[in-house]
Amino acid sequence: DAGVIQSPRHEVTEMGQEVTLRCKPISGHNSLFWYRQTMMRGLELLIYFNNNVPIDDSGMPEDRFSAKMPNASFSTLKIQPSEPRDSAVYFCASSLIGTHGYTFGSGTRLTVV
Amino acid sequence: EDKVVQSPLSLVVHEGDTVTLNCSYEVTNFRSLLWYKQEKKAPTFLFMLTSSGIEKKSGRLSSILDKKELFSILNITATQTGDSAVYLCAALFNDYKLSFGAGTTVTVRA
C-alpha cells in the first residue's frame, strides 16, 4: 500500500489567494482526518470524516476553511482567501476505526506570503 | 478542556543512554494512549496502549500506561543517533479524536 498520499508537498502562495490541499487515504480506511501543525500550537485536528461524511469540524478555524470528501479515496482542504497566519504543515491521516493508530501522510507545507 | 502534557520538552543524551519520556492526559471518554515518532516528515506510529500496567515493547522502545494516574511513559534504551526525533503522545477519546501533546524533542549525540 502506498500509504496516505498528499499533494502538493510544498505550496507558496500570496495572501488572498485560494489554496487547495489534496489527500488520498489508504484504501479500506473509513475515517479521514485533516490536522494542522505549527510550532506554537502543535498538531490540531481540523476536521474528521467518517464514511465520507463530515462528523466533526469544530477545529476548522473559520469560514475561510472548507473541506470535502466526495468519495472514499479523495479529500480536499481549501483555504479561501489565504492569510499569512495559515502558514503551517497540513497533514491528512486515515484510519479504520477500531484498529490501532492513524496513518499520516507526508504533509503539505504551506507558506502564505 | 481536553489536555495532553508531555515532559520534558527537550533533552540531549549521548549514544547508549536511556531516556524516559512522560505524558499525562486529561480527556473525556478516554479510549487509548498513542505514541508517535516524528522526524522531518509525518508522525509514525509506535504504540497504542489501552490497558493499564501492560508494557508494550518494540526493540529498544517500551511504553506503559497508568489509567489511574492518567499518565504514560516511553522508554528508549541504548539510544542511537537514529532515535533523534520529536516524540508525540496523543490521547484517543470520543472514539475517534486524537489530542496531541506538544512533543518531546530528543537529540542523541554520537
Condensed to tens digits (0 to 9), the pLDDT of residues A102-113 reads 899 999 999 999
Residue A99 has a pLDDT of 66
Q: Alpha carbon of B94 to those of A6, A65, A67, B48, B90: distances in Å?
A: 26, 24, 21, 16, 13
Smallest CA-to-CA distance from A34 within A107, A111, A100, A87 is with A107
How many residues are present in chain A? 113
Condensed to tens digits (0 to 9), the pLDDT of residues A48-87 reads 999 999 999 999 988 999 999 999 999 999 999 999 999 9
User: Please, are residues A57 and A68 in contact by the beta-carbon 8 Å criterion?
Assistant: no
Residue B1 has a pLDDT of 73
What burial class does residue B90 get, using C-beta atoms within 10 Å of its C-beta: 0-12 exposed, 13-18 middle, 19+ buried?
buried
Q: What stretch of H or E contains B14?
A: strand B10-14
Question: CB distance from A49 to chain B under 8 Å?
Answer: no
State residue B65 phi and psi, 5-degree precision: -120, 140
Residue A96 has a pLDDT of 84
Question: CB distance from B41 to chain A under 8 Å?
Answer: yes
> Mean pLDDT, chain B, as a whole number?
94
Note whether A102 contacts B98, CB cutoff 8 Å: yes
Smallest CA-to-CA distance from A20 within A74, A80, A60 is with A80
Question: CB distance from A25 to chain B under 8 Å?
Answer: no
Q: What percent of chain B clears pLDDT 70, i.e. is strictly above it?
A: 100
Over range B34-44, report the average pLDDT. 92
A33 CB neighbours in chain B (<8 A) are: 98
Cross-strand pairs, B12: B107
In this complex, the residue of B45, B101, B103 whose CB is nearest that of residue A101 is B45
Q: Where are the beta strands (DSSP E) in chain A?
A: 5-7, 10-13, 19-24, 31-38, 42-50, 53-56, 65-71, 74-79, 88-95, 103-104, 108-112
Question: CB distance from A40 to chain B under 8 Å?
Answer: no
